[in-house]
Amino acid sequence: MKFSISKSRDAVAEIIGSTYISKSGLYPVTLDFVSIATSRNGSQSLNFNITHDGNTQTIYGQTIVNNDGKPNDIGIRFLNKLGIVLGMDEGDELDIEEEEHAVGKDNKVQTFAVIQQFSGKDIILHLQEEYSEYKGEIRKAMNIRNVFRTDKATAEEIVNGTDIGKRYAETEAKYATTVSYKDGLTPERVEAWKASRSQSGDKSAAKPTTSKAPTGGLFGKK
């Protein structure tokens, strides 16, 4: 049997009776906190620090404010659905406060702009693997495709009060394990890239995105 050591992130991740999310699927998680990160160019996005089956990790979410300071319609729709799934009602406003949290493998304390209504809540996330290519480099992301209440209800089902769990069942049957390939990538190319990365040892690791309280833009302080 031929065996070679790998220093890739997946290969060395600690798994002690628990699972680090790296595959498409439907996952019950606890939202440790959801923060709004502001980039250097002024855009704002949601970041999810979650716990699943004993493991903590960061999932980078939707853009809610574009570089030009205007709301991102897709991101805002998602944020609204998330609020409803987590119990917010008509007219409720987000309460955003700065908090310090120790994150990452080095447990470095950093400052985040945290949405108070979402912390500590249980939820089900539909996550999808997505592979893209930029300047010859293949990249992997875990994208949030939908959110469900713990009883498997979507925001639309909650508002309408009907068909609770219908969309979840459809997702589980048809879409839960699908993988997205962009920029002309194929499953074969991605598998070859994974094998190559495993052989050489992947030394890159995504760093948790931090943010000070948003300034300006849709969620800027007045």
Provide the 10 A C-beta neighbour count for residue 194. 16
Would you say residue 210 lies in a domain?
A: no
User: What are the structure tokens assigned to 11, written together?
Assistant: 């290969």
**pLDDT band for position 198 (cuts 50, 70, 90):** confident
pLDDT in tens, 88-102: 999 999 999 999 999
Predicted structure pTM score: 0.81
Domain count, the chain: 1
pLDDT in tens, 166-196: 999 999 999 999 999 999 999 999 999 989 8
Would you say residue 214 lies in a domain?
A: no
Would you say residue 211 lies in a domain?
A: no
Is 50 exceeded by the pLDDT of residue 204?
Answer: no
The answer to whether 46 touches 35, Cβ cutoff 8 Å, is: yes
**pLDDT band for position 20 (cuts 50, 70, 90):** confident
Q: Which pLDDT score is estimated for 53?
A: 92
Would you say residue 220 lies in a domain?
A: no
Would you say residue 222 lies in a domain?
A: no
Distance CA 97, CA 216 (A): 15
Would you say residue 3 lies in a domain?
A: no
Would you say residue 163 lies in a domain?
A: yes
> Residue 3 — φ and ψ, nearest 5°?
-140, 135
Would you say residue 137 lies in a domain?
A: yes
Domain that holds residue 44: 9-15+23-200
Is 60 exceeded by the pLDDT of residue 138?
Answer: yes
